[in-house]
Amino acid sequence: MRIYHVALKEVSKRKIRTIYTAIGIAIAVSMLISVIITASSGEVEIFRVIARYGHSLTIMPAETKSQQSLKTFGIGTGSYIPEDAMPNIEKTYQKAIVAGWEKMGQLTFQEGTIGGAAFPPPTFAPRLYEEATVKGSDVIVGGVMLEKELISRFWWEISEGKFMANDDEVILGKLFAVITETKVGDILEIGQSKMKVSGILNETDSPDDYMVFMSLKTCQKIFGKHNKISMINVRAMCPKCPLGDAAIAINKEILGVRATSQSEIATAQSQIFQKTAALLLSFVVASLIISAIGVFNIILGSIHSRLRDIGLLKAMGASRSQLIRLFLYEAALIGITGGIIGFAIGTGLSYVIGPILFKDIVIRVNPLFFLMAIILGTLTTIAASIYPAIYASKIKVAEAFKSL
């Protein structure tokens, strides 16, 4: 028999006290675990959203100030990027992103993998803008690669009809369709070509609402702009991507273009989420401290009710350090019990809370969280038991035995 056997028997025989004490710890641990699991799972979800929608780069032709002043909302005509420059731009971008990751020293870059989570490759969506007069109204015609555009403009939705499937089809912005009273199936004359309206977009509250979209190839052909594009929108598709580095590299290495990063909002969103999670954690830590105070009171009360036992152990020859060990072993066992219960409850809670806070969240329970729950429960009870254990070890036998 060893001292920890005595502690184990004490804890297992005094079930009500053990469970009562462990529940105090379990509640705090469960809150912590549920916050950690929900936050970590939610962060992955947020990263995915930010990866898809948040981080973007706009690449436009480098222009003089007078050229820029002619444009509204960043769109316009008159200056172009050669379409065959796109592979070079993509190559420069990728190289800069890899270098950026390596410079941060955080992650080993692998194709399609950021920090162990799989993310799709970046999307380069080119557009060609041309001015035209359609049904008597001046309008900007946008040539797009639909497949890439739907990733870049993820908010696009068709309100009537469908997206264009053929080179002789167009889709219209809602505002343009309403003003010109155009319907799905109508034929529009654009340049020298007749184009069929295949669909009308939902309102987007952007310049897209007063535009006509067709395939890039058709647009280049109608307006005689072979191999020319007006801009490229790059969706980074990964969180925390060093887009600034990529923009600098493109501006430096590709002549005639200007790349601008739009990652600040996404970064700010991510930081707000992390700060909110940190705030929640601080509340949980506070509850852990309150639990520790509860454990402290229970252990101290338990010592008072076991004065005679403590005196007996001292009379049998238990030294102060042995008594302290005995009480700390008991505390550790209660902490382990509380940690296990807390982990189970916390994991269950995260399955309830997670989907409420984050749509489409996938709860990920890292085995390390189990270890964390046990360590936390154990350390909390041990910390709360140190003073009571020292107090117990100082009790004089004669004081413990009123009968002696």
When the beta carbons of 4 and 370 are compared against other proteins, the nearer one is 4
User: Which residue's CB is nearer to other proteins, number 8 or number 365?
Assistant: 8
Scanning residues 138 to 167, which ones bind other proteins (CB under 8 A)? none
Q: Contacts with other proteins: how many residues (CB under 8 A)?
A: 27
The answer to the question of residue 17 lying near other proteins (CB under 8 A) is no
Q: What CA–CA distance (Å, rounded) separates 23 from 32?
A: 14
Q: How far is the CB of 19 from other proteins (least distance, A)?
A: 15
- Residue 71 binds other proteins, judged by CB under 8 A: no
Q: Does 322 bind other proteins (CB under 8 A)?
A: yes
Nearest-approach distance from CB 309 to other proteins, in angstroms: 6
Q: Does 10 bind other proteins (CB under 8 A)?
A: yes
Q: Which is nearer to other proteins, 315 or 368 (CB)?
A: 315
Q: Segment 279-318, which members bind other proteins (CB under 8 A)?
A: 308-309, 312-318
The yes or no reply on residue 268 touching other proteins (CB under 8 A) is: no
Phi-psi region of 98 (alpha: psi -120 to 50; beta: other; left: phi over 0): alpha
d(CA 197, CA 173): 11
19 binding other proteins? (CB under 8 A): no
Given candidates 319, 352, 362, 368, which one binds other proteins under the rule CB under 8 A?
A: 319
DSSP 25-39: HHHHHHHHHHHHHHH
Site membership for other proteins, residue 130 (CB under 8 A): no
What's the closest the beta carbon of residue 11 comes to other proteins, in angstroms?
9
Residue 26 CA to residue 374 CA, distance in Å, equals: 10
Interface with other proteins, residue 349, by CB under 8 A: no
> 240 vs 314, which CB is nearer to other proteins?
314
330 touches other proteins by CB under 8 A: no
How far is residue 268's CA from residue 23's CA, in Å, rounded to a whole number? Answer: 38
Least distance between other proteins and beta carbon 387 (Å): 18
Does position 356 interact with other proteins (CB under 8 A)? The reply is no
Strands in 164-265 per DSSP E: 169-172, 187-190, 193-201, 211-215, 228-229, 231-235, 257-261
Q: Among residues 109, 296, 370, 401, which is the contact residue for other proteins, using CB under 8 A?
A: 401
Query: Which member of 13, 65, 226, 359 binds other proteins (CB under 8 A)?
Result: 13
Nearest to 62 by CA among 75, 79, 77: 79
Q: Which range binds other proteins by CB under 8 A, 5-13, 116-124, 195-203, 356-364?
A: 5-13
Cβ neighbours of residue 371 closer than 8 Å, sequence gap 6 or more: none
Q: Is 70 in the site for other proteins (CB under 8 A)?
A: no
Structure tokens at 75: 């769109």
- Shortest Cβ distance from residue 380 to other proteins (Å)? 24
Which of these segments, 22-30, 117-125, 221-229, 393-401, binds other proteins (CB under 8 A)?
393-401
What's the CA gap between 364 and 37, in Å, rounded?
7
Asked whether the beta carbons of 283 and 369 are under 8 A apart, the reply is no
Nearer to other proteins, 264 or 309 (CB): 309
- Residue 54 per-residue DSSP state: I
Name the phi and psi angles at 70, rounded to 5: -80, -15
Residue 43: helix, strand or coil by DSSP? helix
Nearer Cβ to other proteins (5/183): 5
Of 248, 281, 386, 397, the one binding other proteins by CB under 8 A: 397
Asked if 380 and 28 touch (Cβ cutoff 8 Å), the reply is yes
The DSSP result for 268-315, as a single string, is HHHHHHHHHHHHHHHHHHHHHHHHHHHHHHHHHHHHHHTHHHHHHHHH
Residue 134 CA to residue 288 CA, distance in Å, equals: 68
| φ/ψ of residue 168, rounded to 5 | -100, 20
Contact positions toward other proteins, by CB under 8 A? 1-3, 5-6, 9-10, 13-14, 308-309, 312-322, 397-398, 401, 403-404
